[in-house]
Amino acid sequence: MNKQALCSFILLFTGILSAQNDLKSDELYKNQSPLEIKLGYSNKDLNRNTDDTTFITTTMSYNHEEKWSDIEVNLRARGNFRRNKCYFPPVKMKIKKDQYSETLFDGNKTMKLVLPCLIENENNDNVLQEFIAYKIYEKISPFHFKTRRVNIEFTEPKGKKTKTFQLKGFLIEDDKRVAKRHEGKVMERFIHPMAMQHLTSVQNAFFQFLLGNTDFSVAYQHNGKLLYVDKEIIPLPYDFDMTGWVNPSYATVNTTLGINSVKDRKYRGFKREQQYFDEVRDQFLNKKDLLLEMVASFENEFSDPKEFKTMFEFMGSFYEVLEDNIRFNEVIVAEARTK
């Protein structure tokens, strides 16, 4: 075999292995039914004793194909607001290769675990609402995080006793996996929004407007990441709890934007050529029935019917804006930022 042929073989073989690994790493997200897991640790220890480089180690049990298995996971608290305000801080999870290899988690070295914030009646419904937001964006942009719901039996040591909670949550894939899927990379520096790809930027801005979200910044990568794909910069949004869509009890309002509630929408996208506003508007309108049907499919999973009803009506008010030419131009196009 000559040198050129050998190189071609190596590239082909490497590509096959990479494709096989990608298939393995998607196994976790292929099934969208909730994954049953069991976790136990001290929230106090997680908050006090972990940071960007320090983790606690515990065992996570999970039920896959009617069989319970154990896997060692490393956890740290993440986020700023929720870390300080929540009883259950959101979690960054890392799994060593010798633990995840040949398991359901194969290829998922790093993930986020979203949990309810407080111990209150609507806590699990709020998590479900945020999960649905991720599912909406999946239908809008190919550049999105894959997610998987989990039902968690969470056991927390309390001195000599333990307390057990039944929680809803979901796992979010690592941003590097998203970048790899699109043959790109994650950008870690500040970029002016107008340097970002127009279409995906407007898709993101419309989506945030649907949610009633003002708690994000594409310029400073607050509740969002940036991908560099095919020489273009793509916004990748996450963390949607502080929105009118979820409307949690702990929500805070940025009154400097002229709003008094997280349910008051404010378009935070930047000014682009009209064609992008029109294209994304048409996209949302053409997918209205699909999105409404998808959201409605979760109705029976809400503990409180009112939580679903207010969320569904909030989505309806978004479409009222899109379907009215005058309101669309006044509330979205004219409000687009120039700086």
Torsion sign, CA atoms 7, 9, 13, 18: positive
What's the rounded Cα separation, in Å, for the pair 197 and 201?
6
- Which structure tokens are listed for 127? 């998590």
- 110 shares its domain with 217: no
- Same domain, yes or no: 291 and 197: yes
State phi, psi for 7 to the nearest 5 degrees.
-60, -40
What is the residue range of 148's domain?
27-114+144-175
Indicate if 192 and 310 belong to the same structural domain: yes
Backbone angles phi, psi at 217, to 5 degrees: -150, 115
Q: Say how far apart CA 269 and CA 298 lie, in whole Å.
A: 29
Report the predicted TM-score, pTM, of the whole model to 2 decimal places.
Answer: 0.92
Residue 129 within a domain? no
**How many domains are contained in the chain?**
2
With cut-offs at 50, 70 and 90, classify the pLDDT of residue 248: very high
For 163-222, the pLDDT digits (tens) are: 999 999 999 999 999 999 999 999 999 999 999 999 999 999 999 999 999 999 999 999
CATH code where residue 267 lies: 1.10.1070
